Chain A
Amino acid sequence: METSLVRAHREGASSMRTGKDRLIAGLMLAPSLILLGIFVYGFIGQTVYVSLTDWGRGASLALQPEITFVGLENYRQLFTGILDVRFRQDLVNMVFFSLIFVVACLGMGLFLATLLDRPLKGEGFFRTVFLLPMALSFVVTGTIWRWMLQPRGGVNVLPTLVGLPRLEFLWTTSRQRVLQFNWQAVPQGLILLAAVVLILLGVRAWRRGTRRKALLLGLPGLVAGAYVLLVGRGVNWSGLPFPETHGFNLALIGIIIAATWQMSGYTMALYLAGLRGIPEELREAAQVDGASRLQIYRYVELPLLKPITLSAVVVLGHIALKIFDLIFAMSGPDNAMTSVPAILMYLTTFRGNQFAKGAAIATLLLLLVSLLIIPYMVSTLRKGDEA
C-alpha cells in the first residue's frame, strides 16, 4: 500500500516535471524554430513561388516588378526548350560527377583506412596528412588544381621529368565526350531503370519468402519495362523536338580529381573509425574458425562497414549535387564542359536577370538533394524510434 502510494506520488511529480520541462524546452526552441521557419522554409516557399512566375521579363529589377503567374512554364522550357540545352548538359554533368566522385571517394577512403588500420609507425602523421585537404575551402582547392591542371604546365609536364613526352590533355576544357546518348531517349531510359530496380527488389523479396511484397514490387516493374520496350521504342516522349547529344565530358575528370583529393580524407576518417569500432572478439572468433586475414577483411569487416558507407554516400552525395565553388574557381563561369546546374542558376539569376528561371533551377536542385536526403532521414529516424 505504502509503496504504491509512494510510486503514485513519484509518478505525479515526474509527469509534472516533464510537463514543465516540455514548456521550458518549447520556449527555448521557439526562437530558433521561428527563425528556421522564416529563413529556411519561408524562403524555400518563396523560391518555389518565384519559379512559377515570369519574373525576369523586362524591368525585372524595378521596385515593384510586374510578375505574373505562369505555372510550370519555366520547368517546361528547361526540359524541352531548344535554347536551354545548357541546363540539360549541366544536369548530365552533375549526374556523372556525383556518381564518379562518390565512388572514387569511397574507394580511396576505404583503401587508405585499410592501410592505416595496420599497426603502423607514424599513423597519426599519415592520418593528418590525408585529412588535411578537408580543412581547405573548395575555392582554395580549386585554385591550386586550376594551376596544376593548366594544359601548359603542372601535371601535363610531369612525364618530361622522366624523359617521356609531355601530355596534351586539356584537363578542364577538353571537348571530348564519351558514353553519348540522345536526350530524347531519357524518359524511356529512366523508366527502364526504375523497372529493373523494382524487378530486382521483387526477386529479392521472393527469395526471402515474402511473396506478397515480391508481387507488389515485381509486377509493376515488369509491366513498366514491357510497356517501354513494346510501345516506347522509337517514340519521342521527351518533348524535345530535335535530337540532342549529351554524354560524359572528359573535362570533368579534372574536377573529379580535385574533389576526390579534397574529400577522400573524410571518408578515410569515417572508415577508420568504423574499423576501430569492430570488436576484436569478432576477428578472433573468425581466426579461430581458420579464416585468413583476407577472409576476415572480406566477410567480417566489410559487411560491418555498410552503415558507414551509407552515411558517407549521403554526405558526399549532397556535396556533389550542390557543388559550385570548386568548379567556379577551377574553370570560371562560362566553361560549359564542366558546368553544373548550380553555376547555371547563379548566372541565370544574377547575370541574366531571369529570376524565375533561376528559381526553377534552384527548386529542381532542392528536389534532387531531397531525393537523397529524405529516405536517409526517414530510415535513421525510424531506427532511432525503434531503439
Chain B
Amino acid sequence: MRRTGWYLGVLAVLVAFLLPATACAQSGELEIFSWWAGDEGPALEALIEHYESLYPNVRVINATVTGGAGVNAKAVLKTRMLGGDPPDTFQVHAGQELIGTWVLADRMEDLTFLYEEEGWYDVLPEDLIKLLSTDEGIWSVAVNIHRSNVMYYIPENLEKWGVSVPTTWDEFFEIAPKLQAQGVVPLSVGENWSVIHLWESVALSVLGPDKWEALWTGELAWTSPEVVATWELLDRIMEYTNPDFASLTWQQATDMVVDGEAAFNIMGDWASGYMSTTLGLKPGVDFGWAPSPGTEGIFMMLADSFGLPKGAPNREATIAWLRTVGSREGQDIFNPLKGSISARLDSDLSRYDAYGQSVARDWQTNRIVGSLQHGVVANERFMNDFATTVMEMFLTTRDPVITSNAAHAVALQAGIGL
C-alpha cells in the first residue's frame, strides 16, 4: 500500500514535469538563420507572420547574415555548427549543397516522417524529391523554386533590330553578327558566377538532361568529347558578349538588356523579379522570356530550403516551421513576394504574375534537372573549386581541353560521382 503511494507520488511528479513540456510543445523561441534581407526580406517576414499567426506562443528570431550571395552567412553558420551552437533551422540551397556538407556530416534529421504525414509525396514532383534525397532519407523542405535556364529580352527592341528569339545556339550564331553590326551586344553577361550560370545552360543544351545527370553520378567523364564540346560552345558564345563582363553585377547585365545595349541575357528568374518589381516593367509586355537556347522542355531548378539540424534547441517549433514552409498556404504567401514559384503542383496560380504562372506551368510539365551554380547537383568543395580554378582556367586560357581536364581533376578530388 505504502509502495503504491510512493509510485503514485513519483508518477505525479513526472506528470507535473511532462505536462508543461507537452503543452508548450510549440512555444519558446525559434531561430531562423538565413541570408534573406533587402529585396528578399519582405517575403521571409510575410512567411514568419503567417507562422506566428498559427503558433502564437513561439517567438521567432529572424537571424540574417547578408552579403556575398550567402557566402558570409554560410561562413557564420559553419562556425556556429562547429562550435556546437546550431540555429533551430537554416536556409540552405536544396540538394548537394545541403547533402554534401551537412547530411554527410550527420548533422541533419531525416524528414521522411514529415513528408508522409503531410502528404508531400503526392504534391511535389518526383524529380524534385529525388534531388532532395539520398538513400537514407529526405533532408529538407523546399520553400521555393527558381528556374536557372531562362533567357530575357525586350520584345520591342528585337522587333526594331529585326531579329527573333533563338531557340538553338545555331540560330543565335546566325543573328548575333546582325546585332553586332547594329552596335548591339548579342548576349550580356555579368561577373564570374554568371559565367558559370551561363555555362550550365549551355552545357544542358549540348548534353541534354540525361547526360547532364550522368555527369553528376560519375557515369559521364568530364574529359569526354561531349563535355569538351560544352566549353567549345561557351568559348564561341563569349565572342558575342560584353568585354567588361567581369566588372558587372547580374543586375547591371540585366540593365544592358533593358537599356537596349544588349539583346539577350541568361539569368535565373530573380531577374524577372528585378525587372518587374525594381524597374517597374510589365512581364510579357515590356520584357519577354524563353528557355535558354536548346533547353526547351527542360526545367533547370534551384531551391532554397529549410531542414532540421540535429540538436536544434526547439525541435517541436522547428517541425512546425517546416510544416508551414511546405504548406500550400505558406508557399503561396512567400513565393509571389520572392519572385519564385511554389514547389507544389497544387499551388494557387492566381496569386502569381504572368511570369510566375508561365514558370509554374513549365514546372508541372517539364523535365526537371538541378543547377550547378546554385547548389543542387554538386557539393560545396566542387562548387568552390569550379569557381576559383576551373572557370578561371577557362577565362585565362580559353582552352576547352585544359578546362575539361581541370574540371575532371576537381571532380575527382571533390568525390563527384563516388
| Shortest distance between the CB of A274 and any CB in chain B (Å) | 40
B347-397 at interface with A (beta carbon < 8 Å): 380-381, 383-385, 387-389, 391-393, 395-396
Q: Are B102 and A150 in contact (CB under 8 A)?
A: no
In the complex, the answer to whether A350 meets B107 with C-beta atoms within 8 Å is no
Distance to closest chain A CB from B409 (angstroms): 6
Contact A172/B247 with A86-B392, A352-B384 known, Cβ cut-off 8 Å: yes
Question: Inside 8 A of A354's CB, which chain B residues have their CB?
Answer: 381, 384
Docked-complex contact A332 and B191, CB < 8 angstroms = yes
Please name the residue on chain B nearest to A146 by beta carbon.
Answer: B247
Check A83–B389 contact: CB distance below 8 A: yes
Q: Which residues from chain B sit less than 8 Å from chain A, CB to CB? A: 68, 71, 74-75, 78, 81-82, 84, 101-102, 104-107, 191-193, 243-244, 246-247, 252, 380-381, 383-385, 387-389, 391-393, 395-396, 406, 409-410, 413, 415
Q: Confirm or deny: A236 has a beta carbon within 8 angstroms of a beta carbon on chain B.
A: no
In the assembled complex, how far is the CB of residue A173 from the closest CB belonging to chain B, in whole angstroms?
Answer: 4
Q: Contact partner of B244 among A58, A151, A346, A351, CB < 8 A?
A: A151
Q: Is the CB of A170 within 8 A of B105?
A: no
Q: How far apart sit A357 and B24, CA to CA, in the bound complex (Å)? A: 46
List of 5 A-B pairs having minimum Cβ-Cβ separation, nearest first: A352-B384, A173-B246, A350-B75, A334-B192, A62-B105
- Are the CB atoms of A59 and B247 closer together than 8 Å? no
From B101, B395, B396, B413, A83 is in contact (CB under 8 Å) with B413
Residues of A contacting B409 in the complex (Cβ-Cβ under 8 angstroms):
82-83
Instruction: Collect the chain A residues with CB atoms within 8 Å of residue B395's CB.
Output: 175
Name B406's contact: one of A83, A334, A347 (CB within 8 Å).
A83
Query: For B82, what are the chain A residues with a Cβ–Cβ distance below 8 Å?
Result: 61
CB neighbours (8 Å) of B252 from chain A are 152
Q: Are B244 and A173 in contact (CB under 8 A)?
A: yes
- Given A58-B415, A59-B104, A63-B107, 8 more pairs with CB closer than 8 A: A61-B101, A152-B244, A170-B246, A175-B395, A334-B388, A348-B384, A349-B75, A352-B384
Instruction: Name the contact of A59 in the complex, choosing from B78, B106, B387 (C-beta under 8 A).
Output: B106
Q: How far is the CA of A351 from the CA of B409 in the complex (A)?
A: 19
In the complex, what residue of chain B is closest to A84 when comparing beta carbons? B389
User: Are A350 and B78 within 8 A (Cβ)?
Assistant: yes
User: Is A352 within 8 A of B246, CB to CB?
Assistant: no
Q: Which of A152, A332, A351 contacts B74 (CB 8 A)?
A: A351
In the assembled complex, the Cα of A335 lies from the Cα of B380 at a distance in Å of: 19
Known A151-B244, A173-B244, A335-B192: A61·B388 in contact at CB below 8 Å: no
Q: Report Cα–Cα, A175/B82, bound state, in Å.
A: 38
Contact code string A150-192 (vs B, CB < 8 Å = 1, else 0): 1110000000000000000011110100000000000000000
With both beta carbons as reference points, the residue of chain B lying nearest to A86 in the complex is identified as B388
A residues with CB within 8 A of B: 56, 58-63, 65, 82-86, 150-152, 170-173, 175, 332-337, 344, 346-354
Q: How far is the CA of A62 from the CA of B104 in the complex (A)?
A: 8
Write the chain B residue with the least CB distance to A339.
B388
The 14 sampled A-B contact pairs (Cβ below 8 Å) are: A61-B101, A82-B406, A83-B389, A85-B392, A151-B247, A334-B391, A347-B388, A348-B388, A349-B75, A352-B380, A353-B78, A353-B101, A353-B384, A354-B381
Closest to B75 in A: A350
Contact of A65 among B105, B193, B388 (CB under 8 A): B105
- Choose one: A61, A83, A152, A175; the contact of B78 (CB below 8 Å): A61
Distance (Å) between the CB of B387 and the closest chain A CB? 5
Find chain B residues with CB under 8 A from A175 CB.
395-396
B392 adjacent to A336 (CB under 8 Å): yes
Shortest Cβ gap from B71 to chain A (Å): 6
B104 to A, closest residue via Cβ: A59
A residues less than 8 Å from B380 (CB atoms): 351-353
Residues on A with beta carbons closer than 8 Å to the beta carbon of B81: 61
Chain A residues, Cβ within 8 Å of B387: 333-334
Q: Kindly state the separation between the CA atoms of A347 and B388 in the bound complex, as whole angstroms.
A: 9
Query: Out of B75, B389, B391, B393, which one reaches A346, CB within 8 Å?
Result: B75
Q: A82-B409, A334-B192 are in contact. Are A353 and B392 (CB under 8 A)?
A: no
Residues of A within 8 A of B415 (CB): 58
Closest approach, in angstroms, between the C-beta of A156 and any C-beta of chain B? 10
Q: How far is the CB of A14 from chain B (nearest CB, A)?
A: 50
**Minimal Cβ-Cβ distance residue in A for B382:** A352
Which residues in B have their C-beta under 8 angstroms from that of A150?
247
Residues of B near A333 (CB, < 8 A) are 68, 71, 387
Q: Which of A56, A59, A62, A344 has a CB less than 8 Å from the CB of B388?
A: A344
Contact A170 B244 (CB under 8 A): yes
Given the known inter-chain contacts A173-B246, A353-B380, please indicate yes or no for A61 contacting B389, CB distance below 8 A.
no
In the complex, A175→B106 CA distance in Å? 43
How far apart sit A54 and B384, CA to CA, in the bound complex (Å)? 17
In the assembled complex, which residues on chain B have CB atoms less than 8 Å from the CB atom of A352? Answer: 380-381, 383-385, 388
Chain A neighbourhood of B193, CB < 8 A: 334
Whether A173 pairs with B384 at a CB distance below 8 angstroms is no
Determine the distance from Cα of A315 to Cα of B82 in the docked complex, in whole angstroms: 34
CA distance A353 to B105 in the complex (A): 12
Q: A344 → chain B, closest Cβ, in Å?
A: 7
Establish whether residues A83 and B410, one from each chain, have CB atoms under 8 Å apart when the complex forms. yes
- A62 contact set on B, CB distance < 8 A: 104-107
Bound: A73/B295 CA distance, A: 43
- In the complex, the answer to whether B393 meets A85 with C-beta atoms within 8 Å is yes
Say how far A96's CB is from chain B's closest CB, in angstroms.
17
B191 touches A61 (CB 8 A): no
Chain B contacts for A86, CB-based, 8 A: 388-389, 392
Say how far A59's CB is from chain B's closest CB, in angstroms: 4
Q: Is the CB of B393 within 8 A of A351?
A: no
Check if A336 sits within 8 Å of B105, measured CB to CB.
Answer: no
Shortest distance in angstroms between A145's beta carbon and chain B's nearest beta carbon? 12
Query: Separation in Å of the A294 CB from the closest CB of chain B?
Result: 44
